[in-house]
Structure 1
Amino acid sequence: MKAIIIDDENKARSLLHSMLQEHCPDITAYFQADELEQGVAIIKNEQPDLVFLDIEMPRYSGLQILDFFDNQPVDFQIIFTTAYNQYAIDAFKLSAVDYLLKPIGHEELKQAVQKAIDLKDQYSITNNLQELKKSFKTLAANKIALDVPRGLLFINHSDILYMEADGMYTTVYMKGDKKELICKPLKHFADQLEEGALFYKPHRSYLVNINSIKEFNKKEGGHLLMENNAIVPISRVKREEFFEIIKELF
């Protein structure tokens, strides 16, 4: 049985390789790649039986692997290796494609490999990957992923009070007096949430959750009082639009 490990972290690849050699004797040949395109090229040339695939990598996410196999059979099993937290694991459980949560334990590794060996149906493999992609679209419809130093933090839209721009950074204010400074501009989040009725940009430096507005005060040109008693300005050119949206929603 042949396997490939696709992960942008050299240490993670080496550790998983060592664990497989020690605990999974069914795997007799190994390949490695540090990004998805290189991994796909190896898969097409070497035709491994099993792919250990990281999700969060530069350029392409592991979840995009099917995009490289249009109209081609997917005749390998995939085990995702991920540092995602419990929210993401809920999405993984919606499909039969397996996952390993980093740091990987040897018992979980052995069980995942055995599961991959047992699952041989080629149609099921392709279908399961499609279901996984659908699961993440469902997750994205209700949550937002924040890049934090420890990994990825998945937050319900309803738990966000507002976001404030700080140059190329954004501070995300959440319920429970929590906040996170994210190394992305406010536009990144505004574009991501523009189709959601919950969020509105009353000022170039702010994006607010409409359901978290406690009061509109018309003093000093107008401002919004949020649930945490923070004051968010509303620009004059946005006031009329704001009242139209409120009228439609409430």
Structure 2
Amino acid sequence: MMIKTILVDDEQDELDVLERDLLNHCPDVVVVKKFRSAIEAKAAVAELRPDLIFLDIEMPEIKGIDLAKSLKNEGHSSAIIFVTGYPQFGAQAFEVEAIDFLLKPVESDRLKQAIEKYLGHNLQSQIAELNKKAPTFIRISSQSGFDLLKIKDISYLKADGAITRFFMADNQAVGAGRNLGIFEKALSGQGFFRVHSGYLVNYRFLHHYDNRESCIILNTGAKIPVAQQRLRDFLIWVDSFTV
């Protein structure tokens, strides 16, 4: 995954060294811009919308801590990693929910560790946001009434003619008299992906992708084909919630 990043430090040499180290050790990080002024950086955040900001603390005009507080108060979602030569600012850094606090000169292992922390934090945020937005159940009508299926327990959906079969975590199946496309729309944004014209899978159950057979093995043991024309989009989808 690409991590769109800006660097903010009033020392040009520090900016250049950090950019070089990120390029050499953190291939997922893309530095889109460097700033020697916190004021200029603040003005550009709304336009650039970086995922991550590496931020010095001791700077003229606006200190890094104050810039981080201002961005947070204005509702910007960019994560912050502080990079400084002053260890005494550590407590203040974490008061503004910084991902990490790095001391100059930054060792490559600590830099990679900071990026790993960001990726872990980002994944947790994505899952929390997904769960917050998602309804808990989907209603499946039948001749006798309707069933309520817990969405997180649906491992996959399979088209069976004009019927869609819902396979649950315990491998039990529930049939619904509507086509798969209807349920694909209903479950849009809830963690499901159409890997094949006849299958919709839940990311929560992915376990293994077999490149030789172009299929997914779910953690329930089910084997789901991945259509060749959908493979690229499937891999991009998986990349969106993995580190």
Q: Provide the TM-score with structure 2 as the length reference.
A: 0.46
